[in-house]
């Protein structure tokens, strides 16, 4: 286990990408610590893939900068790509077999390991003589992952790695991420909308909506601070960090993003009966953040 070093594996500042009139990414500031398993979560079309493409110089920002391992993704493109693995759900050279892809890709990476290729071919049970385009969705993802892991990247970037995978392949993939990448102190940056998965393997989370960052924080902090508090009767108090207050006939429900304990104490001093102060899972927190953001813009 490595301590999280103060420097950042990935850093974007004021990142903007427009497609026609749409701001796909709109002034994004991401700070991904080295050694983190960082999940960028958001709805479909929130800008996750566009962000990842700019990190890898597959798309050019209209404004702002993207840096990986301290290097500008565009200016130092080759040096970045040598040290970063990338897994996507896009097609690789479809007419090539797994074996051909391995031979071709290996030539580009100074730290390429044939031992790792052999190991993951076995672990993942990939049909290496099949053409990529004829492989199942699960095997295609495994092929991407094999190529990314064999180059021994310092940063592994995965765009929706588990989308469309069956539970068995999903489980294999998560195990490899935890055991072979995260446990080595290497950085994992993944986009996802599978929040239950993310909640287990990520230790940092960034929430993005309409190309903007809603929140970026260590996972444990998020879970420690957000609380849903239910009070009997109609309480008039409003906590400082309230995200939502709902009063109905017999009770009041608060969602707070901080200071839950102090607020519960204050309520009880006022004579209110606190029925429940319960933690929230990532999915609930995400929905609250989205709805709070929506209200702010109205």
Partner 1 sequence: MIFRIHSGSGVPIYLQIEAQVKQAVAAGALERDEAMPSIRQLAADLRVNPNTVARAYSNLEREGTIRTVPGGGTFVAARGTGLVKAEKLRRVRPIATQLAVEAKQVELTEADTVRLVEEAWEMLGTRNGVEHD
In the complex, least distance from residue 177 CB atom to partner 1, rounded to whole angstroms = 8
In the complex, least distance from residue 16 CB atom to partner 1, rounded to whole angstroms = 31
In the complex, least distance from residue 275 CB atom to partner 1, rounded to whole angstroms = 10
Which one, 200 or 295, has the nearer CB to partner 1? 200
Which one, 159 or 197, has the nearer CB to partner 1? 197
In the complex, least distance from residue 279 CB atom to partner 1, rounded to whole angstroms = 4
In the complex, least distance from residue 269 CB atom to partner 1, rounded to whole angstroms = 18
Query: Where do contacts with partner 1 occur on this chain (CB under 8 A)?
Result: 1, 37, 171, 174-175, 178-179, 182-183, 196-197, 199-203, 219-220, 223-224, 278-281, 283-284
Lateral strand order in the sheet of 242-248: 242-248, 251-256, 227-232, 273-279
Which one, 22 or 224, has the nearer CB to partner 1? 224
SS3 194: coil
Cα angle vertex 237, ends 233, 240, to 5°? Answer: 140
Which one, 62 or 203, has the nearer CB to partner 1? 203
Which backbone phi and psi does 180 adopt, to 5 degrees?
-100, -20
Q: Give the CA-trace dihedral at 41, 42, 45, 49, to 10 degrees.
A: -10
| Letter string b/e over residues 75-114, b meaning 16 or more CB atoms within 10 A of that residue's CB | ebeeebbebbbbbbbeebeeebbbeebbeebeeebeebee
Cα(45)–Cα(209) distance, integer angstroms: 8
- Token pair, residue 146, equals 């094999």
Which one, 72 or 284, has the nearer CB to partner 1? 284
In the complex, least distance from residue 77 CB atom to partner 1, rounded to whole angstroms = 30
Contacts of 237 (CB under 8 A, 6+ apart): 263, 266, 267, 270, 272
Which one, 159 or 199, has the nearer CB to partner 1? 199
């Amino acid at each position: 286990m490595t301590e999280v070093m103060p420097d950042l594996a990935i850093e974007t500042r004021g990142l903007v990408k427009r497609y026609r009139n749409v701001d796909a990414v709109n002034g994004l500031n991401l700070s991904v610590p080295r050694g983190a398993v960082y999940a960028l979560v958001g709805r479909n079309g929130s800008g996750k893939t566009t962000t990842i493409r700019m990190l890898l110089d597959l798309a050019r920002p209209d404004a702002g900068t993207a840096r990986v391992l301290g290097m500008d993704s565009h200016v130092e493109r080759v040096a970045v790509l040598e040290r970063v693995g990338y897994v996507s759900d896009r097609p690789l050279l479809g007419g090539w077999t797994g074996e051909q892809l391995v031979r071709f890709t290996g030539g580009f990476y100074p730290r390429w390991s044939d031992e790792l290729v052999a190991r993951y071919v076995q672990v993942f049970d990939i049909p290496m003589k099949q053409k990529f385009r004829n492989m199942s969705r699960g095997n295609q993802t495994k092929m991407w992952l094999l190529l990314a892991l064999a180059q021994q990247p310092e940063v592994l970037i995965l765009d929706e790695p588990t989308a469309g995978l069956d539970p068995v392949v999903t489980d294999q993939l998560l195990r490899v991420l935890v055991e072979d990448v995260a446990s080595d102190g290497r950085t994992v940056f993944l986009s996802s909308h599978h929040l239950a998965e993310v909640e287990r393997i990520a230790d940092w989370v960034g929430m993005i909506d309409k190309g903007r960052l809603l929140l970026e924080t260590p996972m444990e902090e998020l879970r420690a601070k957000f609380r849903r508090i239910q009070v009997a009767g109609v309480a008039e108090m409003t906590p400082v960090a309230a995200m939502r207050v709902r009063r109905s006939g017999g009770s009041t429900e608060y969602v707070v993003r901080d200071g839950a304990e102090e607020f519960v104490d204050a309520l009880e001093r006022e004579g209110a009966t606190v029925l429940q102060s319960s933690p929230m899972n990532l999915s609930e927190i995400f929905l609250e953040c989205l709805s709070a953001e929506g209200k702010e813009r109205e």
